[in-house]
């Protein structure tokens, strides 16, 4: 039975996250229903990672095993005919029988988008958090350099997280501004992330840029000290950009 990896994008605004839940409509639910219509049986789906309620994705990855009903490369066309407009599968490839979308992920890239215009840009309201402040990008970039490497991210863990181990490694973090679009993008690559970790990091970087947080305090928090660095920014600005694998 072929093992298939899909890559998909979705607008997370109207979903309770990616992973299946009892009391909310999720992206996984929509995808599994589409797979059921295609294969006429329940297909067990493995996601590369869960995105929370309201979080978007351009490059989420999932894997599943199913009978070779149609050529693998035609699966996106078939599934998209059953999916709502805010979820799109754009790639399907056959992978090794032991491939697992979550365990085999080498790294993930998340981005957080700030609408830095004086007045809200209406067409960005679903995908960016309005942040009209004058931000010092040099200070924010300094904060990015501090985040890189292996640290104890206890101060960046959302309440309710089941994770006991809060040590994580950030491979790359950067911030840049698109002047012509009046947006600022924070981009971070890491192996794995704690619950709300990316949103807390983005919040801390905004506080640095505003001058409300000292770099030394951020550096101290990365030793596993539970300090108040800033709020977890709203989910709508967060996007899972890509999941990397060794292939």
Q: Which residues does the annotation mark as catalytic?
A: 52
d(CA 41, CA 39): 5
**Non-local CB neighbours of 178 within 8 Å, separated by 6+ positions:** 184, 185
**Non-local CB neighbours of 190 within 8 Å, separated by 6+ positions:** 107, 108, 168, 169, 170, 171
Structure-block tokens of residue 95:
């992978």
Q: Three-state SS for 4?
A: strand
CA separation (Å) from 116 to 112, 132, 144?
12, 5, 19
Determine whether 247 is exposed, middle or buried from the number of CB atoms within 10 Å of its CB (0-12, 13-18, 19+).
exposed
- Count Cβ atoms below 10 Å from residue 186 Cβ, excluding itself: 26
Rg value, the chain, Cα: 19
CA separation (Å) from 191 to 16, 64, 100, 108, 156?
24, 22, 15, 6, 16
């Amino acid at each position: 039975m072929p093992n298939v990896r899909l890559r998909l994008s979705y607008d997370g605004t109207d979903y309770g996250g990616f992973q299946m839940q009892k009391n909310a409509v999720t992206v996984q639910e929509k995808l599994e229903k589409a797979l059921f219509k295609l294969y006429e049986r329940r297909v067990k789906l493995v996601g590369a990672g869960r995105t929370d309620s309201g979080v978007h994705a351009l490059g989420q990855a999932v894997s599943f095993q199913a009978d070779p009903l149609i050529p693998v490369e035609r699966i996106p066309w078939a599934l998209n005919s059953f999916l709502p407009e805010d979820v799109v599968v754009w790639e399907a490839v056959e992978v090794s029988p032991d491939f697992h979308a979550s365990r085999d992920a080498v790294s993930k890239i998340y981005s957080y988008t700030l609408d830095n215009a004086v007045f809200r840009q209406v067409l960005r309201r679903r995908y960016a958090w309005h942040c009209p402040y004058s931000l010092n990008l040099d200070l924010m970039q300094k904060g990015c350099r501090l985040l890189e490497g292996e640290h104890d991210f206890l101060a960046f863990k959302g309440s309710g997280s089941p994770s006991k181990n809060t040590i994580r490694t950030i491979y790359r973090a950067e911030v840049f501004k698109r002047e012509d679009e009046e947006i600022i993008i924070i981009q971070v690559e890491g192996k794995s992330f704690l619950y709300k970790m990316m949103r807390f990091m983005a919040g801390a970087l905004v506080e640095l840029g505003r001058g409300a947080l000292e770099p030394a305090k951020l550096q101290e928090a990365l030793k596993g000290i539970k300090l108040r660095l800033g709020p977890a920014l709203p989910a709508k600005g967060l996007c899972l950009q890509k999941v990397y694998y060794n292939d």
